[in-house]
Amino acid sequence: MDTELRELAVALFEIDALKFGEFVTKIGLKTPVYFDLRVIVSYPKVMARLAKALWKFSEDCSNIVQICGVPYTALPLATLISMDSNIPMLIKRKEVKPYGTMKMIEGQFKQGDNCVIIEDVVTSGSSILETVHTLRNQGLEVTDTFVVINREQGGRKNIENHGIRMKSLYTITTILAYLLEANKITPKIVKDVTDYLSKYQAPVISIPEKRVKIPFHIRATKTKNEIASKIFNLMEAKQSTLCLAADLTKADSILELADLTGPHIIVLKTHVDIIEDFNDDFIIRLKDLAKKHNFLLMEDRKFADIGNTVSLQYEKGIYKIAKWADVVTVHAVAGESIVDGLKNSLKNINEPRGIFILAQMSSKGALTNGDYVQNALLIAQSSNMVTGIVCQSNIFTNPGLVQLTPGVKLAKSSDDLGQRYNTPQSVVNSGADLAVVGRGITEADDKLTATLKYKKELWAAYEERLK
């Protein structure tokens, strides 16, 4: 093995994968040595030798079920290892795609599968720890990582601090020794690099605590929005994560439903513009029921206009939404000005208010994808008026924001108008904190029994998620 590593070090130098001069690392550190292993894809024999050498580390590991290469340089190495070992490979996306399967991890796996991470170069360990965070978020176990080069700048310690064993083919020290012995570099280069290593260490890196693993009562203390805190505390107190979509067209039907299900729901969601007999008395009675049964009111208005217009839509007209709705839904299409417009309508409102930014929709063919999703998340992070995010998957990490996921039914299905439904367990596993159930309750013969069933299954899925 030692002979093979010596020869491989020279081969890497000769294909310009190892460079000496003045460079800047990914984390901003100046360095006299740079490793560019991306070039190995042009040298299949060198790449194959590296993959085989890395996989030798597996002899000291047991129960490796999955392999994951850190994108992008390590992916070819992971692919070769997967093919040679006949062990399945997973691919971690740089970011979740809000269409198709909307997965952060591509590949087939089971909860608890042990996955080894393949990486090319470690400086601070941040790329490996980001990958560990994503894999563990999906229920995978990670205990080992196999690395080509350890730069000896603190990365190993950062990684091992998170319970990951790191095995590397090379340290900078060993590579320098091999290259000096082969007359590929000078003693001065060795001294310059050695002096650099003694002076510069990478910062300490820590994996953020998983949002979905933090209990609601703790997340209630991490919010910037009072309504978000109320929702978290209500969910904990009522042991429910149920948002009931009361998409009915008669005021009395909504009131009857609210009175029946109120003790078991967190939020009652309305579309007031579909109510055929809407009147001020309906709002008074609805607010009384919300107070009686301790739930919040959400108007699913999906505001999507310029600031001045949404300000008027929120405060004025026959609905006067700002006066009674604890929280409303908002499209991000108009940019941050839409939040300012809504906030402008609250000058005379003394009660707390919040908004849910709509980042993803549950309808087939929705255009809420790509950069739209990322920009929606940026808006959600920037304002203390934001209660949470409407989305279909676990696309954010801030524990102070509530993930609201619509389209929930006991059985996975769809309707004739493109609405897709997912089961309580699947939406909770995809990050949902508050789950929207509509027709599964409103069209049930026994609405209270249906409510209790959804409440029980959603809460059980949440408790399982915390384990």
Among residues 331, 325, 330, 319, the alpha carbon closest in space to that of 346 is found at 325
**273 among annotated binding-site residues:** no
User: From CA 51, how far away is CA 48, in angstroms rounded?
Assistant: 5
Q: Which helix (H) or strand (E) holds 176?
A: helix 172-181
Q: Which residues contact 218 (CB under 8 A, 6 or more apart)?
A: 399
Residue 107 known to bind ligand: no
Is 144 known as a binding-site position? no
The residue among 103, 55, 59, 104 whose CA lies nearest residue 82 is 55
Nearest C-alpha neighbor of 367 from the set 99, 101, 94 = 99
Rounded CA-CA distance 27/166 in Å is 20
Is 456 annotated among the ligand-binding residues?
no
Quick one: CA torsion of 372, 377, 383, 384, rounded to 10 degrees? 140
CA nearest 171: which of 186, 183, 158, 154? Answer: 154
Chain center to CA of 17: 34
Return the structure tokens found at 111: 């909860």
The rounded distance, in Å, linking the Cα atoms of 368 and 406 is 14
φ/ψ bin of 434: left (φ > 0), alpha (ψ from -120 to 50), beta (otherwise)? beta
- In DSSP terms, 35 is beta-bridged to 18
Q: Residue 55, SS3? A: helix
Q: Which residues are catalytic?
A: 300, 302, 305
Omega before 72 cis (within 30°)?
Answer: yes
Q: Which of 79, 97, 99 is nearest to 89 (CA)?
A: 79
- The answer to the question of whether 447 is labelled as a binding residue is no
- The letter for the amino acid at 387 is T
Determine the Cα–Cα distance for residues 238 and 247; give it in Å rounded to an integer.
Answer: 23
Query: Which one-letter DSSP state was computed for residue 264?
Result: G
Report the SS3 class of residue 141: strand
269 is in an annotated binding site: yes
**Cβ–Cβ < 8 Å for 386, 395:** no
Cβ atoms of 227 and 327 closer than 8 Å: yes
Binding annotation for substrate: 247, 269, 362, 419, 438-439
- Give the residue numbers of the binding site: 247, 269, 362, 419, 438-439
